Amino acid sequence: NTEEPWRPFNRSRVYMADLESTLHYSLRVELASQTQIKGEVLIALKKYISVLAKYFPGRPVVMNLLQSINSWLQNQTANEISYVAFKEKLDNSSQAPDTALPEGVRWVGCQGSKPHFRRYPCGVWTLFHVLTVQAKKAGGSDAKEVLSSMRGYIHHFFGCRPCAEHFENMAQESLAEVTTLSTAVLWLWSRHNRVNNRLAGDLSEDPNFPKIQWPSPEICPACHTVKDNGEHRWNHEQVLSFLLSHFSSNNILSDYLE
């Protein structure tokens, strides 16, 4: 919708409106393209919802919804569910008091200068960066829990098929190297930068949001070092602490929520 008014935002913050918009789009639009969900696809959905119920740093109403969907889904013993049954559960749960996922999208930090730029794919990256950081803070025992659920989600549900293929290649190549919750945070950051590198200057790039090696020296000077020969190096320790603070719940703003 080109008539939507521009929502001013701060590029050094994360917006709950983007995260909730991503959940809405993922659960009500993207999943809806599968009539029957079974086998590996059902396993991927269960893992995705379980990770959301565990780590999404949402408002209480949204957490109530995710937890209610999660317990319903984990209790499904059949090898197959229909999207209609899933959607019914989503809608019925929303009728319970203090349980809801707002309808519709309201992009803020993921707004594009034109309707075909940014939005949902930006939301997906943001969501999974947030989840890897939340998992690190929660200190769980499975280092790959969030990334495996992301891998399954992207592989089976993400509408951009070339994106899914690229991501699956990266996962096959190096996801096994992830052995700690910190390396999981850094793995996703570095793969996202690879994608940025590949897409810089591409037609899909929003001219107002150029694809850079992120975070820029402006927002994280300490993340960057220059060797004697002038070669750029990331300071991984500083990058990790930047990511842990940038994607922490303290840095998430509730502006523009309904």
In the complex, the residues that contact ligand FAD under the rule CB under 6 A are 110, 118, 121-122, 124-126, 129, 154, 160, 162-163, 166-167, 189, 192-193, 195-196, 199, 204, 206, 209, 214
CB of 2 to ligand FAD, least distance (A): 18
β-pair partners for 37: 81
Pairwise CA distance, residues 93 & 28, whole Å: 14
**Shortest Å distance, C-beta 51 to ligand FAD:** 15
CB of 73 to ligand FAD, least distance (A): 23
- Of 192 and 236, nearer to ligand FAD (C-beta) is 192
Query: Which is nearer to ligand FAD, 34 or 193 (by Cβ)?
Result: 193
Q: Which is nearer to ligand FAD, 137 or 166 (CB)?
A: 166
Using the minimum distance from each CB to ligand FAD, give the nearer residue, 49 or 124.
124
**Cβ 118 vs Cβ 206: under 8 Å:** yes
Phi/psi at 142 (nearest 5 deg)? -105, 105
- Looking at the Cβ atoms of 89 and 192, the one nearer to ligand FAD is 192
* CB of 209 vs ligand FAD, minimal distance in Å: 4
**Least distance between ligand FAD and beta carbon 141 (Å):** 24
CB of 171 to ligand FAD, least distance (A): 10
Q: Which is nearer to ligand FAD, 65 or 110 (CB)?
A: 110
